[in-house]
Amino acid sequence: MGNKSLNGRENNVLLRNEGGETPTFRDHAYVSGADRIEDGRGLAVVDVNSDGNLDIIVQSVEKQSVLLVNHGSAGSEGPRRPAPHWLQVRLRGTVSNRDAIGARIVVRTADAIQTREVTTTGGYISGRSLLSHFGLGPHDRVDTLEVHWPRGAVTVLHAVSVDRMLIISEPTRALTTSPDNPVPAAAPHATR
């Protein structure tokens, strides 16, 4: 390659989901301060300061590591727009593997369903947080939260309050359940 380049000086992109059955995306990297122009490699998403906004760690070729701290949208969309709500969930497996890797969490609000799966790997040569993060927009309450544990049990919580991290333990008896006959809610506890 000598001193030439190959697809060099490219900016990282932050594609905002604009919604739809087949959603369309727009690159907000520059206006959001996230368009690093480095030869990027690994990435991880993590809420380093537990403020409910997801931060991004970027590793690039022969460069210092970058920690893009997300300061949220306060003030950027007008003073009357309050900060959007969020919920974070950490699972403790008992019958299933202890990290509950493979669990599926479904969060329902008035107008939407969101799903996360607990996995260890995401992107290129990078590991993912076991913490599941849900942005909730204007909703200050989650109608139902379902945890589908890897070994088949289902936990259902109703009217969950938000803007906090919730730790949910798997029911210790291996129960076979269905959404029509949910397991009584496991004892969740919030850390803040």
Distance, CA of 59 to CA of 95 (rounded, Å): 36
Binding residues among 79-98 for other proteins as defined by CB under 8 A: 83-86, 90, 95-98
- Residue 187 interacts with other proteins (CB under 8 A): yes or no: no
CA 26 from chain centre, in angstroms, equals 20
The upper half-sphere exposure of residue 192, i.e. CA atoms within 13 Å in the direction of its Cβ, equals 9
Q: Which residues 30-89 are close enough to bind other proteins by CB under 8 A? A: 30-50, 52-54, 56-73, 75-76, 83-86
Output 1 or 159, the one with its CB closest to other proteins: 1
With the C-alpha atoms ordered 67, 73, 75, 77, is the resulting torsion angle positive or negative? positive
Residues 141-160 that bind other proteins (CB under 8 A): 148, 150-152
Under a CB-based contact definition with an 8 Å cutoff, are residues 59 and 138 in contact? no
Least Å distance, CB 91 to other proteins, is 12
Q: How far is Cα 139 from Cα 109, in angstroms, rounded to an integer?
A: 7
> In the set 105, 147, 153, 165, which binds other proteins (CB under 8 A)?
165
Q: Which of 81, 82, 120, 143 binds other proteins (CB under 8 A)?
A: 120
- Shortest distance, CB of residue 184 to other proteins, whole angstroms? 21
**Shortest Å distance, C-beta 177 to other proteins:** 12
Contact of 60 with 38, CB cutoff 8 Å: yes
Q: d(Cα 134, Cα 144) in Å, to the nearest integer?
A: 13
Taking the complex as a whole, the smallest distance from the CB of residue 170 to other proteins amounts, in Å, to 11
